């Protein structure tokens, strides 16, 4: 089975998937199956192995990893069994996003502009970084990975990020102008590294440092949550961008569908279902859908 696992992993990686966790799990499953003198996927063996997971979510993940592998190898060998993917019945619950208002983003930018020390690049760096996240919906890892050569006349070139995809992200003229002004200052700052966003020592700005500073900015902007409430995250900038884009969607079912496809491409989603999630995860958008549905049903009931 190990050879089949290796071939499966190689094929998936060619398609752009990292497969690090899948490799660990499938190697473990292959050893477990070998211990039972089995060279093919067996439903009961897969369930017994997956049941060793510490939690329901973990057991579900383990079994579904084997199911994906089994579907692949069954194409050429029908002796492979396909376990029931929903055997453990775990369902992933995604945290509800925090949707920043324009006023809240403005307050964060004002707080970033006051970051010490005076005369250093830190305030400009965080002001530009937060503004870029808010107006493009980039993942924070994508923004921190930007290099000077990724800034083109046509937009930002996001190279091989999540799922190893590369895409071009167009910028509004105002955003492009602001980024150009920052880059001029950043080049004057020097540093031997060609990353757009760097720390005080001239090295690429690490995610951990950004997270710590962002917590400071949330408090300074009055956005620190009450006890027991989730605090807003940097990643929620991406959620807020997606929601605003969907709210600006043109009327008409076909045009909304085109808008959704364009947004999925812009955000770098590998599956459009990830984009549709914003409709059900945002109360304001879900309310709009409910109103539209009620209106449609009311009209349909009319003679």
Cis previous bond, 117, omega within 30 = yes
| Pairing label, strands 167-169, 155-158 | antiparallel
**217 class by beta-carbon count within 10 Å (0-12 exposed, 13-18 middle, 19+ buried):** buried
Residue 17: how many other CB atoms lie within 10 Å: 14
Residue among 8, 126, 182, 278 flagged as catalytic: 278
Verify whether residue 238 is a known catalytic residue.
yes
Of residues 139, 186, 195, 239, which has the active-site annotation? 139
Asked about 235 being catalytic, the answer comes back as: yes
The catalytic position among 162, 231, 233, 259 is 162
278 catalytic per annotation: yes
Contact of 133 with 234, CB cutoff 8 Å:
yes
Confirm whether 126 is a catalytic residue: no
Catalytic residue list contains 68: no
Cα distance between residue 77 and residue 7, in whole Å: 14
Q: Which of 59, 62, 238, 239 is catalytic?
A: 238
Give, in order, the Cα–Cα distances in Å from 227 to each of 52, 168, 298: 36, 40, 43
Instruction: Yes or no: say if 53 and 62 are a contact pair by the CB < 8 Å rule.
Output: yes
Question: Which of the following is catalytic: 59, 62, 239, 269?
Answer: 269
Strands 155-158 and 151-152: antiparallel
201 assigned to active site: no
Q: Which of 235, 244, 259, 276 is catalytic?
A: 235
**Residues with catalytic roles:** 139, 162, 235, 238, 269, 278
């Amino acid at each position: 089975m190990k050879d089949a696992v290796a071939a499966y992993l190689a094929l998936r990686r060619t398609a752009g998937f990292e497969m690090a966790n899948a490799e660990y799990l499938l190697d473990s499953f292959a050893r477990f199956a070998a211990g039972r003198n089995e060279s093919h996927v067996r439903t009961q063996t897969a369930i017994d192995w997956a049941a060793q997971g510490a939690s329901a979510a973990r057991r579900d993940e383990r079994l579904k990893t084997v199911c994906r592998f089994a579907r692949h190898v069954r194409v050429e060998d029908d002796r492979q069994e396909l376990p029931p993917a929903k055997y453990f019945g775990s369902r992933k619950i995604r945290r509800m996003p925090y949707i920043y208002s324009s006023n809240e983003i403005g307050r964060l930018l004002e707080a970033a502009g006051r970051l010490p020390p005076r005369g250093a690049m830190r305030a400009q760096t965080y002001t530009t970084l937060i503004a870029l996240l808010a107006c493009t919906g980039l993942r924070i890892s994508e923004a921190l990975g930007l290099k000077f050569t990724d800034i083109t006349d046509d937009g930002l070139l996001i190279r091989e990020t999540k799922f190893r995809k590369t895409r071009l992200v167009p910028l509004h003229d105002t955003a492009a102008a602001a980024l150009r002004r920052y880059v001029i200052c950043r080049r004057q700052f020097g540093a031997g590294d060609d990353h757009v966003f760097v720390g005080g020592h001239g090295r690429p700005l690490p995610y951990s440092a950004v997270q710590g500073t962002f917590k400071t900015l949330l408090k300074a902007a009055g956005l620190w949550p009450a006890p027991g409430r989730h605090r807003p995250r940097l990643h929620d900038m991406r959620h807020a961008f997606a929601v605003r884009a969907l709210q600006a969607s043109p009327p008409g079912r076909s045009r909304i569908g085109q808008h959704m496809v364009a947004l999925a491409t812009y955000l770098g989603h590998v599956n459009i279902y990830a984009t549709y999630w914003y409709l059900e995860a945002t109360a304001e958008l879900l309310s709009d859908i409910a109103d539209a549905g009620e209106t449609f049903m009311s009209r349909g009931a009319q003679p």
